[in-house]
């Protein structure tokens, strides 16, 4: 589920692309990064623009992204060129941390518990680490902690990753992938409904969303199902969207 934005942006810079990278966070916030000949010329999220928008987008780890070739009236200034280089270097550093997150945190449904023995050995935590470590009570999933936290997704996940790496917390339940039976039922229901709406392009739409989210049928987990279905729904025409009810599909999968 977790992926570095660096792996999406660097190929666009290297290929000197012009157009818009649309990004949808798991929380359904939407951002846009505009490229002119491989240089970033504008970043926005709804009403946010500039540095505020950039800081928020660059803290996203769970997202859907799609680039659209598009001619822009904006051209890159010398300052844009310098900033693009700074941004890609910054994202390259984040990429290394996100690769650790993928290993240590595994997914949004992982449940951790505080290792009291390690704490009793005198491990010192800063305020940010304490707020997250003591939320690890053996029942809350990572996604539940993310939703309630006031920190950015990247801050929360990197802190959890560090705590796990230092054995201050330990996983008591791992990432909740769909079982083979659940996965088969989920996609059977989805494809039946989607084919009625879109016809033969249903499988193309599903494959595009898988590619954009960076996941596969084999590693789709329960917490991915809602965003996955919402992203598919967003690809439909407005008059078709009501025919695809994500809650109904999830309910039928597990009934």
Q: Tens digits of per-residue pLDDT, 203-242?
A: 999 998 888 777 788 878 877 788 788 889 888 998 899 9
- Token pair in block for residue 120: 């009793």
Q: What is the pLDDT of residue 205?
A: 92
Q: What is the pLDDT of residue 175?
A: 65
Rg over CA atoms, the chain: 20
The strand pairing partners of 171, in sequence order, are 112
Region of 28 (left: φ > 0; alpha: ψ -120 to 50; beta: rest) is left
Q: What residue has token string 């990064």?
A: 33
Return d(Cα 182, Cα 216) in angstroms, integer.
14
- Token pair in block for residue 4: 């570095």
Give the chain's residues under pLDDT 70.
1, 120, 122, 175-176
Who contacts 43 (Cβ-Cβ below 8 Å, separation ≥6)?
Answer: 31, 32, 33, 34, 49, 50, 53, 54, 57
Q: What is the pLDDT of residue 8?
A: 95
Return d(Cα 235, Cα 22) in angstroms, integer.
13
Q: What is the pLDDT of residue 221?
A: 80
Q: What residue has token string 């898988």?
A: 210
Listed by start position, the domains of the chain span 6-103, 111-173, 180-254
Question: Does residue 165 contact residue 100 with C-beta atoms inside 8 Å?
Answer: yes
Return d(Cα 156, Cα 79) in angstroms, integer.
32
Nearest to 161 by CA among 220, 107, 117: 107
Return d(Cα 55, Cα 29) in angstroms, integer.
14
């Amino acid at each position: 589920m977790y992926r570095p934005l660096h792996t999406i942006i660097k190929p666009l810079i290297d290929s000197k692309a012009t157009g818009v990278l649309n990004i949808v966070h798991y929380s359904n916030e939407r951002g846009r990064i505009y490229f002119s000949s491989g240089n970033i010329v504008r970043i926005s999220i709804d009403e946010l623009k500039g540095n505020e928008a950039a800081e928020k987008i660059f803290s996203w780890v769970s997202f859907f992204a799609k680039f659209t070739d598009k001619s822009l009236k904006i051209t890159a200034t010398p300052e844009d060129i310098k900033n693009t280089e700074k941004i890609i270097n910054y994202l390259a550093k984040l990429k290394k941390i996100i690769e650790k997150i993928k290993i240590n945190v595994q997914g949004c449904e992982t449940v951790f518990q505080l290792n009291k023995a390690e704490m009793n050995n005198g491990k010192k935590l800063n305020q940010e680490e304490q707020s997250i470590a003591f939320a690890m009570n053996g029942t809350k999933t990572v996604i539940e902690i993310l939703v309630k936290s006031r920190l950015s997704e990247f801050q929360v996940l990197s802190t959890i990753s560090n705590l796990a790496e230092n054995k201050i917390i330990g996983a008591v339940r791992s990432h909740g992938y769909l079982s083979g039976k659940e996965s088969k039922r989920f996609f059977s229901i989805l494809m039946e409904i989607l084919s009625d709406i879109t016809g033969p392009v249903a499988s193309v739409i599903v494959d595009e969303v898988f590619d954009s989210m960076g996941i596969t049928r084999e590693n789709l987990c329960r917490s991915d199902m809602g965003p996955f279905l919402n992203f598919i729904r967003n690809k439909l025409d407005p008059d078709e969207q009501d025919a695809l009810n994500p809650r109904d599909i999830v309910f039928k999968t597990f009934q």
